[in-house]
Structure 1
């Protein structure tokens, strides 16, 4: 069983993730190693969820844009890892050590929360909104 930090989970709603992106993140967490390495390709995650290639690509792009999923540079066949703050760890000591080392080295990637230039629409207003899934 892996443990994770809980502070970030309380702010997930601020990241404006689609339902599909949340499902992808959940599958990645369930199939990750301690520290967040995920040995699944996008197509394999889609096999678990059955959302289709286009929806899967949009969801993964959103997770990478927000910084919750880290993608290796390169061509096809990207390797994925969860951000250290959302990754699971085998124990609290490992989690604290990993986060402290990354922070001290200045290599802890940011998590990107959308910044509004104006107020967001009220939930349920239905004005100028479109579904993305």
Structure 2
């Protein structure tokens, strides 16, 4: 499903670093600057990638200003056990706070009449 999220290569790399350094349940104790140090992409591309991940709902951001804390969406986070995952999802579902993942809604125009039709094969 990753290709349907229309992520940039930098955003995919940022997400990979966050997954690698996340705790069970999705908490990530890295600052954006620390992720940038690992990847070496620069502040501006790093900020754009993080904003894209947050807008898609893959990464959750809390805090204001420079004190942001990040976590992976529970749907993509790792867990120590299946039981821990079930408990987390049950609690989130009961509270109604399970964050959605936003897949872009692309609408393709239908083909023009007379183009791209069927071709007989002999």
Asked if 1:104 corresponds to 2:94, the answer is: yes
1:1-133 aligned at under 5 Å gives the runs 11-116=1-106, 118-119=107-108
1-side partners of 2:44 and 2:77: how far apart?
A: 25
CA positional deviation for 1:77: 2.4
Give the number of equivalent residue pairs.
109
1-side partners of 2:65 and 2:49: how far apart?
A: 19
Q: Which runs of 5+ in 1 are unaligned?
A: 1-10, 121-133
Higher radius of gyration, 1 or 2: 2
1:60-95 residue CA offsets vs partner (Å, 9 max, x unmatched): 000000000000031112000000001111111101
Runs of 4+ in 1 over 6 A off after TM superposition: none
CA positional deviation for 1:97: 1.2
CA positional deviation for 1:100: 1.7
SS in 2 for 1:87: coil
The corresponding residue for 2:118 is none
CA positional deviation for 1:23: 0.6
CA RMSD between the two structures: 1.1
Between the two structures, name the one with larger relative contact order (CA 8 Å, sep ≥ 6).
Answer: 1
SS in 1 for 2:71: strand
